[in-house]
Amino acid sequence: MKNILIVGGSKGIGNAILLQQLENNRVINISRNAPEVSHANLTHYSLDVLKDELPQIDNIDTLIYCPGSINLKPIGSLSIDDFRNDFEINVIGAVKTIQRYLPVLKKGTNPSILLFSTVAVKLGMPFHASIATAKAGVEGLVKSLGAELASTVRVNAIAPTITETTLAANILRNDRMKENMIERHPMKSYLKPEEVADMAAFITSEKAKSISGQIFEMDYGIVSFKI
């Protein structure tokens, strides 16, 4: 039974990961709102990662940082605060969490860190300037930390395409928009949170003990194929 720390496990992809891991592992969740589930294996701390002091946790094998943002605007409509806020949520929050818990994580079993990027870093998509910039920072953090911690802690990231979560509800707000999104992807689908949770389970498991410093695109072909 592993000790898994999830930041942002109350909604979306983070919640899918939390629900998948609860039966067989001890899960510590940090988020502003509590997950809508109670379980003997779950410990929850309600706080804002960017503003509040992080709690002391004595045993961690896996750290998964899930908070993200979808802030889609033309460059002329993006303020400096938009860029700053996206960077803080996606990068600074991850750095703060890693710095706080790295000494404990290093003592864990097959310790690993999992972060989240986006396909927009590689693909180049209109109106994604702020979020793609922030997530490019996440990818740089994965590469740098992966090298720095190579002998002790594995560091990887998942870069999903659009995923059916509350964060993306505005983009997938009706059947026509969902159908258009399906058609944009060569493999004619987009992600469900449970698919990402399955990948997260593999990347943080013993089966992936040779893998670090990698960005795993879950893209239904939108980055890889032109059809």
176 inside domain: no
pTM score of the predicted model? 0.94
Give domain status of residue 143, yes or no.
Answer: yes
The contacts of residue 145 (CB under 8 Å, 6+ apart) are 98, 113, 153, 155
pLDDT in tens, 197-215: 999 999 999 999 999 999 9
- Domains identified in the chain, total number: 1
- Residue 74 pLDDT level (bands cut at 50, 70, 90): very high
Domain annotation covers residue 133: yes
What span, in angstroms and rounded, lies between the C-alpha atoms of 141 and 147?
10
- Helix and strand numbers (H, E) in the chain are 7, 7
Q: Residue 5: what pLDDT?
A: 98
Domain of residue 206 covers 3-162+192-217
Per DSSP, the three-state class of 95 is: helix
Nearest to 153 by CA among 114, 111, 116: 111
